[in-house]
């Protein structure tokens, strides 16, 4: 699949330690066509600057004043547009590639408050109990009020094993919560897998990075090899904050043979594009259940929306984040840069999920299922056929049968027992099993 990209365009969030996780698309930057009103406003700006330089009580740094003015101009457009100094812009370019040390959360500005989109699975923040929706009040005792997104990112990054202290408020909690989290290297691995039950696979995608498509092909190949005639797949996009658009498009294409995947529409024709599915070599006709929640954003919403609109997957969980815009990144002089919104994206059926999110077909809240205590009842103690005197013994498996009934256990990346204590995964598996049962009934 070819993409007519003229420059990097991204959509996503500042990620403390995860970096800015962004969507790529295409677009051209057009010069400002200034009218008389614009020129008048620019003249006012220079008049104010000149007045402050001459008469303010202390000496002023004109460069800092101008940079702050640009920061305000871009930052007031929407939560995902920002003016970045060289250090922030450099980090932005590297975040989808290299390894770095931090705590592992993806953040955004929501109503002017620094808010967690999602913790990244397996990271220090995830293990400490940081949750999607947590609002960060302080970082190392410094208030986040009026703090730029890139500033928060830089504060939460740092040397490995050195702690960072953050204070959050959480819905349902009467008081703020304090966390002391040791920074660590943030894993770049974005895909994990397991077999939940013979014939049923599980694929966990934590974000969309440059190599995610290749990793998914590897994991799907292993799942499909372990389970001949795979009966169903659970695709887990929960707390997936997004990432590279081309990866989401190509992964959608693995499960779609034709039709639109996502369309991008901006003010400029050059910022609009439709991405379509193509017929692939692999024929994946098995049913898919996709898991989403409030931490599923951006590229993960593109994937879930495409599969939902094409009736290729059933969506289960809770409503996703609702990030339906696309940003471009443009370098400026002296290492500075700007990131700003150029378009909205739409699902194949023309839905904009901006501030709405993907609504699941079946709503299931997250819950950890406790293992039920085994109790022996009178009915459990009733005699079975095997308890009767002189009952026929079950047939012994031959050498070939033994090989089938005692397969060598493949290496797992995830603990299957632990996965099945997750209510949403368990429900998804039950749906896939039920689908197979009813399909067999219809085929009789």
Instruction: Give tens-digit pLDDT for 268-291.
Output: 999 999 999 998 777 799 999 999
Question: Could you tell me how many helices (H) and strands (E) the chain has, helices first?
Answer: 11, 21
Give the pair of three-digit tokens for residue 121. Answer: 């699975």
Positions annotated as catalytic residues are 298, 309, 323
Is residue 95 within 8 A of residue 21, CB to CB? The reply is: yes
Q: Which of 114, 52, 90, 49 is nearest to 335 (CA)?
A: 90
Q: In 105-236, which ranges are continuous DSSP H helix?
A: 124-128, 149-156, 212-226
Q: Which of 202, 210, 198 is nearest to 237 (CA)?
A: 202
Q: Is the pLDDT of residue 7 over 50?
A: no
Give the pair of three-digit tokens for residue 164. Answer: 């960072």
- Work out the end-to-end distance of the chain between its first and last CA atoms, rounded to an integer number of angstroms: 41
Q: Is the pLDDT of residue 134 over 60?
A: yes
Unique residue bearing structure tokens 């689908």: 435
Three-state DSSP at 240 gives coil
% of the chain surpassing 70 pLDDT:
81
Is residue 345 within 8 A of residue 263, CB to CB? The reply is: yes
Give the pair of three-digit tokens for residue 246. Answer: 């081309």
Is residue 105 within 8 A of residue 18, CB to CB? The reply is: yes
Say what the pLDDT of residue 402 is.
41
Is residue 204 within 8 A of residue 192, CB to CB? The reply is: yes
Task: Round to whole Å and give the CA distance between 202 and 284.
Answer: 15
Say what the pLDDT of residue 407 is.
37
Q: Which of 359, 356, 354, 358 is nearest to 326 (CA)?
A: 354
Instruction: Give tens-digit pLDDT for 150-187.
Output: 899 899 999 999 999 999 999 999 999 999 999 999 87
Cα 260 to the center of its chain, rounded Å? 21
Average pLDDT value for the chain: 84
Query: Residue 292 — φ and ψ, nearest 5°?
Result: -135, 165
Q: Is the pLDDT of residue 400 over 50?
A: no
Instruction: Give tens-digit pLDDT for 57-83.
Output: 999 999 999 999 999 999 999 988 999
Per the DSSP assignment, residues forming a β-bridge with 369 are none
Q: Which of 423, 119, 400 is nearest to 291 (CA)?
A: 423
Task: Round to whole Å and give the CA distance between 302 and 150.
Answer: 25
Mean pLDDT for 220-248 is 93
Say what the pLDDT of residue 443 is.
60
pTM score: 0.79
**Where do the domains of the chain lie, and which CATH numbers do they carry?**
9-92 (no CATH), 100-185 (2.30.42.10)
The kind and range of the H/E element at 274 are strand 273-276
Q: Which residue has the higher pLDDT, 87 or 422?
A: 422
Residue 155 exposed, middle or buried by CB count within 10 Å (0-12, 13-18, 19+): middle
Q: Report the C-alpha dihedral over residues 411, 415, 417, 421, rounded to 10 degrees.
A: -150
Instruction: Compute the chain's Rg from CA coordinates.
Output: 26
Say what the pLDDT of residue 349 is.
98
Instruction: Give tens-digit pLDDT for 25-56.
Output: 333 334 445 578 899 999 999 999 999 999 99
Q: Is the pLDDT of residue 392 over 80?
A: no
């Amino acid at each position: 699949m070819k993409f007519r990209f003229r420059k990097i365009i991204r959509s996503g969030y500042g990620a403390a330690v995860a970096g800015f996780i962004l969507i790529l698309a295409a677009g051209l930057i057009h010069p400002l066509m200034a009218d008389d009103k614009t020129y008048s406003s620019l003249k006012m700006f220079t008049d104010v600057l000149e007045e402050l330089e001459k008469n303010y009580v202390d000496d002023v740094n004109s460069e800092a004043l101008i940079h702050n003015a640009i920061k305000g101009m871009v930052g007031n457009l929407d939560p995902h547009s920002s003016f970045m100094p060289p250090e922030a812009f450099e980090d932005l370019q590297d975040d989808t590639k290299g390894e770095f040390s931090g705590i592992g959360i993806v953040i955004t500005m929501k109503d002017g408050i620094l808010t967690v989109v999602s913790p990244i699975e397996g990271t220090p923040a995830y293990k400490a109990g940081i949750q999607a929706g947590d609002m960060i009040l302080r970082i190392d005792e410094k208030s986040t009020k009026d703090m730029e997104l890139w500033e928060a990112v830089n504060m939460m990054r740092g040397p490995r094993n050195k702690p960072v202290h953050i204070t959050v408020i959480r819905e349902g909690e009467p008081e703020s919560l304090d966390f002391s989290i040791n920074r660590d290297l943030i894993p770049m691995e974005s895909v994990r897998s397991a077999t939940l039950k013979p014939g049923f696979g599980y694929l966990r995608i934590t974000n969309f990075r440059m190599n995610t498509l290749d990793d998914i092909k590897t994991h799907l190949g292993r799942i499909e090899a372990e389970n001949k005639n795979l009966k169903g797949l659970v695709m887990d996009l929960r707390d997936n904050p997004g990432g590279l658009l081309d990866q989401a498009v190509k992964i959608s294409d693995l499960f779609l043979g034709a039709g639109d995947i996502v369309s991008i529409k901006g003010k400029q024709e050059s910022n609009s594009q439709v991405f379509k599915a193509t017929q692939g070599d692999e024929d994946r006709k098995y049913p898919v259940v996709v898991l989403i929640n409030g931490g599923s954003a951006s590229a993960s919403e593109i994937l879930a929306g495409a599969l939902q609109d094409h009736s290729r997957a059933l969506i289960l969980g809770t409503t996703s984040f609702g990030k339906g815009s696309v940003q471009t990144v443009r370098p400026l002089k002296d290492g500075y840069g700007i990131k700003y919104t150029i378009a909205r994206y739409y699902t194949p059926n023309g839905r904009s999920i901006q501030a709405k999110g993907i609504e699941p077909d079946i709503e299931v809240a997250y819950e950890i299922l406790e293992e039920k205590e085994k109790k022996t009842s009178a009915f459990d103690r009733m005699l079975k056929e095997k308890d009767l005197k002189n009952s026929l013994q079950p047939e012994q498996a031959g050498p070939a049968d033994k090989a089938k009934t005692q397969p060598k256990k493949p290496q797992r990346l995830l603990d299957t027992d632990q996965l099945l204590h997750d209510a949403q995964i368990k429900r998804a598996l039950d749906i896939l099993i039920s689908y197979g049962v009813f399909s067999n009934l219809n085929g009789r």
